[in-house]
Each structure stands twice: as C-alpha cells, then as structure tokens.
Structure 1
C-alpha cells in the first residue's frame, strides 16, 4: 500500500473513531476545528484517489451508524443532512459568492438574494411527523437516511405538542437540547448520589433521548426548538423566514432568532454580536447557521452527499487557554498502542478544570516540537476533551526538557515496537493487563456485545478482585453475586442489571460477536460481511487465506489478519469458551437473503448517488442475487444513474439492450419484486 493509501486509511479510521465516540458513546475526543480539518484533508485526498475511497468513508456519512438499541429503525422521507462548517468570515463570503454566482449568472436571475441567520443548537437532531394535526412519530437523524423511532420519549418533552393548532399533515425538524439550567441541576444531583456526571448538555440530551425508560426522559425535562419543515412549498411558503413564522404559528417552539440579512458585512456584525450574547441563552450553541432565504432556489442549488449547498454553519472559535506542561505519561490501549498524555498545570477551560490533554502519538510531539516545561495552548471547543494545540516557543526559558519515547511498556515493561508504516508505539506483550482491560471494554461496548454497567472503573475493579481475567470470565460473574454486591456503589439492583445484561448479550447477532472479538482490521462493516459470507464461526475459522482474500470487500490485508487471528490458539480457546457459555456464533434465519430477485441480472452505478454510496448499492444488488460489473458493455443489464453522470452514461445510451434507471426506479424494482 502506497503512502497516500496509508494516509487515507489512517484518516478514515481516525475520523470513524471520533464519530463513534461522538454519536454512539455521546463523547467528544477532538475539537470541532480539528475534526473538520481532518475531514477536509480526507476529502482532498480521496478526491484525487477514488480507488481508496471506501463505502463507509466519513466523507460520505452524515451522522452515525445506528446504535444497537431496541428502537425501531425508520427511513426518512427526505434525508436529514448535516451542514458544511466554516470558521471565518472569508468562508461565509465564499459561500455567498458561490451561491449568487449559481443563481444570478447560471439562472439569469436579477432579484437580490437574502439570507437568514439562526443560532446553531448543540443537541440531537429530530424529525417529528404529524397526521391531521396529531403527533404520530418522532425519529432521530441516525445516519441521515435511517433514524431511530423515539416517539414515546419525545412525547415526554413538554415543548413538543401532541396536537397542532390545525389539523394538517406536517413533518418538522428541530434540535432536542437539555437546557443549561437543567443540566447544572442534574449534574449536581448525580454528584450527590455518587453517579458519574454528564460531560456536557449535548451528551446528556442525546443519552436521555435514547433511554428505554420514558420516565427518565420526562424527569430530565428536555427541550426542543424547530427550524425546518419538509416540502415547505406545499404549504405556500416561499421564504425560510416564512417557514420559521409558520412553525411558530402551528404551536411548535422556535428560538425566535431568525434574522434576515443581505450582505457579508451584516452577517459578520451579527455573528460577532451573538458570539458575545450566546452566554445569556439557556441552551448550548456552538455557532450560527446561514441559509438562503428564498426557498425556490434550494433545489437549484442542490446538495452534496452530506450537506445542502443553500446553507452553511459558522462555528464559534474554540476557546484557547495557556498552561504549563508538567510531564508526559503513557497509556496502553487494547491493541497495545501506547499513547502519550500531557499532564498539565490545572486550568479552567469552558467551565471545567483541566489537568490532562491528548497528544495522540510520539510523532505528534516531534511535529509540534513540544517539550516538558513548555507553556502550551490547549483548546476545548464547547465541552470536549482538551487538546494540546502548540507550544509557545517565545516563552521558553531554556530549562525545558526534550520528551523521550519510552522503550518499555509503562504497565508490563515489555519491549515496545513500531510497526512498519505506522506511527504508534506498541506493547508486544498480549497479556499486558492494560491490553486485557482494553479488550474487555471493547467487548462489552455498545457496538459490540452491548453489556450495560461495564464502565472503566467497574472493569478495573473486576480485574483487581480477580473476578475476570479475560472476556470469557464475564459470563461466569453470576456465580460471584455476593462479591459483586460488596463492591462500593454496586448494590443488589446494579448487580441484577449487570447479570441480566450479560445474559441478554448471548442473543446478540453473529456479526456483533465477531466485531466484539477485536479481530485486527475488522470493524462493524467487515464483521457484517464476514458473518454473511461464513454463516457460522466454524466455517470462518476453517476458511483458507485465499478464500478470505477473495471475498469482495475483504482484500489481502484484512484476509491475512482474519486468517492469522484464528490460527492463534489463545483466540480459538476464547471462541470455544464463549461457545460453551451459549454465545451466538451463527447467522439467524432472519439474516438470510429473502429472494434472489436480481438473479442473472447485471448492474453498474455511475454519477453521484443521493441515497447510497457506491459500495452500499453494490451490497444491495448482491443481497438480492444480482451481479456488479465494473464497466459498460453488452453484458450490462441496468445502469443506475446519479447526478453528474459522464462517459458511462453516454456509452450506455449507445447500447439499446441496457436499461438506464434512476435510484428511485431501483428502489421501485426492489419493492415491486418483493411484493410479487
């Protein structure tokens, strides 16, 4: 793999991890500024190297992969897109110039465009659907195309009416937030009860709305502000300003901040105003949103894969403070990766006391030329984990010390190595206690076996008491009930919850179990693919290296990793023990392909697809027995055409046997054939 491919892969995995923590675990690991820069770097690299662009690249994703919950999955009538971000007025100016160029020059329109400036709420996006004025459904954004049905929980939010002031059909979209006053109150109560406090209002709101107990939602008093309706033209609305007024008149809550503006200068002035005034609001806001006011141009301007071209978000600058870097400590993760952590002179950032910050890896320390004793800038956009931005070299005294990479694991003292092509130092001892703890935390995570109650401190305690030594021991904890109840802050109810969740995890899908094993290079998508192709763990274990590599989407690196994983006696022992405990290691009947409706049919997709990535639509085709071709020829039956289709479409038109269809027609084919 060449350097560009390695860099793309590294960025993809890094951003996926950040997405996983942000959307699934309700935790932020990096500042918005840093995240957006990484995403932009990846977009630029992928643009010139399409062959390395994977189907689930973060550049193609709007939100999250749906979490493993009991909530029903619902497809949105119209995708819930995210907004492109900007951090300076120059970006806003460029946005306006691009927009007006498209409208004035290409459409020959002379009317002056106007824009609406709104506050950008930092919460959880929601879509609520009313039928004849009655609230019938509420769905989270999810991955933008499919969300989770949280209707029962939304019914507990007082600011979302169960009935509108008029008997109409309406789909409105807004942001669920936890008011800052409620956030402070809840955290105070949790602290008094010995519970872990919420990191920030956004995480608290997101976690609350996904509660399985609606009573918890009601108790925490969430709030919601609306800013959009689906198909506004159907209601005779011609501007976004009218939409905001319409929403309010129908009994839905808005922020009442929707300022009509015509110039960049006005936008700059009002953004600066709200940057100061935002602290007076009772909800968290991390920026402003600028939208083209005239709705008739929205479809003309269109969307990218992720974002509308008629709107942009301005993010308030991350707050930076300076402090002294006292030392560097090294942490060991489940894969053996050794990560440097900055130990800081305690300082207040965005309302909380901070004395540790991330440095990612030793190469990062060298690149930024950071030394122990330096004054450093750290930033914490909103309420996220602080990062060391850079040293203030002008304040050096000459007493600063170089940071030296460790040669031994700080936990087990085994030799550290750096894998070829990677920047991270790794512990070579697979029995290192830090790695064992990391593997257990990975196994019980939401995307894995989803076992509740296994926080970091609990896992540490279980290991300390010798109750668990590896992931298989989790299923023997029910035999240590008395010891569990003696652990501080556990109690009978907590123990019941943990044991019940452990038993429930035995029913998890085969693909979830594969993911939980922590096979190197195998994430959620590849775990699903391996589960579908192997059907059961025994077949997967016995598959030859060549068989694995030949699976479309696996490749040599992953194939080798999977093959080697199951040639390790310790790993096989773990699998066998899990089998004995009744873990599900086979594909259930419900996962099997329903019909080979595209049997003997060939497909090819071209252009920019709205509902699928290229690999996703290939999966759908293969799921129903079809075959994907790489080029246009007489062997092709169907060409699925997206926006900006080029030479493939032109060539297909010259072959009369090829049927050219849209994404919508492809959807209809699947629907019709399944109904027959």
Structure 2
C-alpha cells in the first residue's frame, strides 16, 4: 500500500510543495554563493538543508528530479557570468559532509564492505580549506588554463586571473601534461587588511575570507588579484596513476616535487580512533594557520581502490569531509540591550534567536557600538551572520538584507544611561557614548567584574551573576568589600544554589588572591589604557604603589611601553580621592602593593634585546606564560604568529603549521627547547 502521509500528518501535496520550496531556496543560495560571492545562510544550515531534502527525496521517490540540487554540485546558473564557460574533462565532485565524529567509523565500515577482505586499508587525512575550488591544466609543463568548479560539470575560465597568483606555477619542473585541483584562498592576514581598507573607503566588508577570495578571483581587472594577495594550495592530481603513483599520499609528494604548494598535511592512518585523535589535534591547531580551514578530509589512500568504490552522482565513495563545529552561523536578531561597562561606556548587545556556534549555545552577541550598527545597517528582525571573535566572544558580522520584508525596526542610539538614566555623552573624536554619572551602578558592577576576573585577581566562583547577587544583597559596594565577605558567611550559605562547600571555596579563593603579585593588582584596579603587559612595566619601574602614585606625567611617559595616553591615565587615576581610598582599604586587607625592584640589566644580560620570539608545540620545561616571561626578562618580545618580523621560533614536541611556515619563509631561526635553554645559560 502506498505511503500517504508523513509522521506529522502532512499529505502528499504538502510534501511535494515542501520539496519544491526547499529546492527553490537552495538554488537561490547557490546562485548567491557561487555567482555573487555572498552567503545568505551558514555552511552548517546549508548542509542540513541539503541533507533534509535528500532524505525527503529518498522517502518519496515519486518527487525525485534529476535537476534537484541534491544531484548537482555548486552553481547551477552561470549564464550571467562574464567569464567563458568550460566543460571539465572529469567532473569536479563535492564531498559528503559530516559534523559527527561517530560517522567517521560508519564511513570506514561502508568502505570495508565494498573492498576485498585481503586488502589492507589506509586513509589519508588532510585539511579541508575554506576557499574557492580551482582546476589548473598544464601542457608540456606550462600553464594553459584555470577553471572554477562551477556546477561540477561546467566552470568559468579564469586563466588570466590565476596568472596573478604567485603560488600557482606558470611552468612545472617537468614537461608534463596534467590537470591538478586545489583551493584558492585569501590568507587571514590579507583578509583583515582588505576589510580595513574597505571600511576606510566606506565600502561593505566581506563576511569571511572565502567570499573575499571568490569575489577577488572573479574580478575583471586581474591586477586586483595580485594587490589583494590571493594564495593557493593543491590537493588532487587528476588520473594520478598515469604518473606512476599508487597512493593519494604519494601523489601529494609528486605535486610538491613539480612545484605546487600544498598544506603539507597528508597523514596516513589506518583506524577510526587514530583519525579522530588527529582530527581533535587539528581542530585546535587550525587557529595557528593563516588561512581558513573548516574541517578535515579523509580519503582512502590506495588509488586502485577508488575505482572499486566509485562515485555517486555528486560525491566520491572513497572520501568524506568532517566539518568542525561552525564558527559562523545565521540567526534572527530579536532585539538590542544596552550595557554599561566599568568606564561607563554604553555598548549594544544583540539579543538573538538561540543558535549553536562553535559547540556552544549562543543567544547574545556583541554589536560593538552604534557607529558599527549604522555602518553595517543592522536592524531588529534582521537575519544576521554571527561568529566567534578569537574563538571566544560572539559578534554580529553583517545583516542579510535579501531576507527583509519591511517589518524590521531601525536601532536608535540611547540619550540616557540604561542603568541609572543619567545623560550620556560622547567625547570629542570618540565613537563610544558614556554614562556621565560617576556612581552609576553599571560602572560599579563592571569594575568589580574586572577586578575578580582571571587575568586580574582571579577569584574563582565570582562570576557576573555572583557579583550581581552580592551587589543586590548589599554585601559589596566596591572591590574592597570583597575581602570582608567572610563576615557574611552564614548569610552566604543560605543563598540558593550556594551551600556550605561552595561558600568555603569562594572564601578560600578570595584569601588566595591576596598573594597575587603587584603587577596583577595594578591591572585589577582598572586604570584606563593599562593592560597586563603595561601593568608589569609599571610594577617593574616603580617597585611599589607609593612611588608610582608620586610619579609625574613626564616620569611615567619615560617608562618604555606605557605611552602618552597610559601615562596620563595613571597620573589622573591617582589624583582621584575614591581611588586612593580603595587602595588603602585593599592595602589594609594585605594585597601586594610592592615588589622587589629589579636592578637594571646589563646589555650582557639582555641577550635578546630587539629580537622577536614565538613558540609552538608542547614544551617540556616551560608553561606558556613562563617562557614568555623568560623571553621578556632577557629583552626579547613575544609575537603571536609567524611573519617576516619573527627572528626565532622555539619548537617543542608535535610542532605543527607554524614550523612549516617558518621554514618556508627561510628567514626565521628555528631553535629546539634545549638550544633555547643553552642560549639562556640554563643548561
């Protein structure tokens, strides 16, 4: 008997309409993504939509259609393109995706069932780059054509433009006829510079490096490609067996020998457990790369087995892509909340329809300031892209105007403080507005949160909600009152969800914080423009708080690294009676306001003066902060990434992409941990 309804009671007519609507939406998203270089939904939402459509088509085969996007790859409408169309000699298939590590085992089981039992199976694991797929053809070793993926069967001829990408060889080391496939990317460093320039010019910024790379490659003026600094990485040799290679991993080495740039990551492993372990490693290590990678690709390594496994209409059966948790997703903006920080700065926060981002649920995201809201034209009710900045703070990247229906509400900048209703004001030349009330409760809460934070006094168990509760109960009015909370111990135990042990731990952490060094205390005070590093500089230069309080602006400016703004902020901070009163209270509770004054180092001791350092991998003798302090103590400076400005890279166990990039630059001196210790005179 024919199946007439879905589980939730939809009739066949409704199912057909639903399938047609999903196809229509996907085709629209494809058009924007491949032709307009713009994403209307996030990758994870797109993948889920394709998966849902595929499941419906399989459940109701009477509604299958060869023109369905589940049967095709990439763009399906290239008619409006300004580039010549080219038919691929072999289709450029896409990979099946999974966001679930458990499905890696399922993939291996499927492969195992199709392969003779006596065959040993190994898998090549590679980085999945988030860029623009390209196929490049060579005749007698010379580049003759570059073609985009397009719809998998037909792409666009962008030969003239790829000639401007310096990492695509114009001539190979051997005079061969071949076709190689890879990814065009815009390095993250270049992406940031490009968006800064576009912001300065009043142009709309790119949402992500992938869109920027696609938009750049498809420019009519090919000189723009060189100017923006597109890069390329290759990962696939068409008909590789013709060149005497038997495995995919061998083909990658062959490509490198010919002069192609690869990621350098092609690890051959034989089990799901080993694959998962390395995937977990790369999920963390990817943050050190200068290009976007959104997952890992697993391929059966032996090329002979690819023919046995074959392909579906859209994907090869010998490969699968594991996607990392989404860094960028779309959701709906439900409203805006204005918050007040410790300096009185009033900042907008987006209230969002809950969404999963980088493995955590997100309902709020930063909007930075009203100037950014205006520049990005963000409205309440908009569909918006959000991402995690530096993998920590969710922020709104852009609104998607194509989804607007006229019901969206423009955001208005407040004229009064949302906490105390005092007037707000904007300092000349500044984009931020600030509450003018020095006793605003929002400011007080912000100062206390800053004081107890991890980088400051590091009082565990004293998060934002705890600060709010303590203020509400009247137990604290400023940071000094934290050290008198022991007198409220009996009352604290009665607070819901606290309990005796939680209170004991909190009080122990408060007591332990009294041992934090002088530089941490300076940072915790929340002096404007004074961060962790400048807090150390002030502590080392003064030795104690009394000397620091009596320094003139001129003396403060002379402290290398503090700067004019920082010097004036420190001077003004110590001329405020409330700040001086707080310092005396904290001093009375035993906080550290002095340290041993270090004698000025001789030039022989500052052996790393003017030199820059970076470390990578697992170190045996140092924690991260310890090696940074050692470098700074000897006059060196710590960098956060490999660049031409880096002098030394210290490598530990399992050194990854930073080492490879340093080797490619050729100007960076690479030290083992033992060699570093020897130079420091510690070995």
* TM-score, scaled relative to structure 2: 0.49
> Which structure is larger by alpha-carbon Rg, 1 or 2?
2
Ranked by relative contact order (alpha carbons within 8 Å, sequence separation 6 or more), the top structure is 1
